Amino acid sequence: MTKSRRSLTFLAGFLKNPREVGSVVPSSRTLVRRIMRLGDAGAARVIVELGPGTGVITKQVLAAAADDIKVLGIEINPLYLRTLARDINDARLTIYRGPAIEISEALASIDESSADLVVSGIPFSTIPKLEAEKTLERVRDALAPGGRFVAYQFRSEVRRLADPVFGRGETHQGFWNIPPMRIYVWSKR
């Protein structure tokens, strides 16, 4: 899929379900590289991506990953599900159709009980608070000891919700993306 077509597909997904999509444009390559570095993706054996959208991050993770990695995308948007199925053909990737709160069930579907890295671009600022809190608790429970949760967001709501669950996280600010995003990182003790 061309970059302009991917951007249009992403925009269409946002317009159809703005509460489920965190941005009107896909993530930049620079942002994705920063997310992967902060999440220590190179050392991960199992990576979960909450809301892979059109697969911008997914493709870069797969391109840089070892042959034995498992990448699990959890997506609810039917348009993005079709795009992912059409555009990414890699045996290391499994797409789970469902909400992020079902992370444990999604991991079980690939015969795993934990993840080394969970990456999320889902908009925690638009998810109902109770659902967001439960999702973050399930992410914490699904992380292996020393695992990392990396969220890239426009707003800081995820930090307010995740710090009580994970402990104080790191915040990285910069202009790696247009519009600019913050990257939040928590490690499971």
The CATH number given to whatever domain includes residue 92 is: 3.40.50.150
pLDDT at 155: 86
Global model pTM greater than 0.75: yes
Contacts of 123 (CB under 8 A, 6+ apart): 19, 20, 21, 22, 153, 154, 155
Per the structure, the count of domains in the chain is 1
User: 1-26, pLDDT tens digit by residue?
Assistant: 555 454 444 444 444 444 444 443 45
The tokens describing 111, both together, are 């015969």
pLDDT at 151: 96
User: 53-71, pLDDT tens digit by residue?
Assistant: 989 899 999 998 899 999 9
Domain that holds residue 177: 3-187
User: 85-140, pLDDT tens digit by residue?
Assistant: 999 999 999 999 999 999 999 999 999 999 999 999 998 988 999 999 999 999 99
* Residue 7 φ then ψ, to 5°: -65, -40
Contact 119, 39 (CB under 8 A): yes
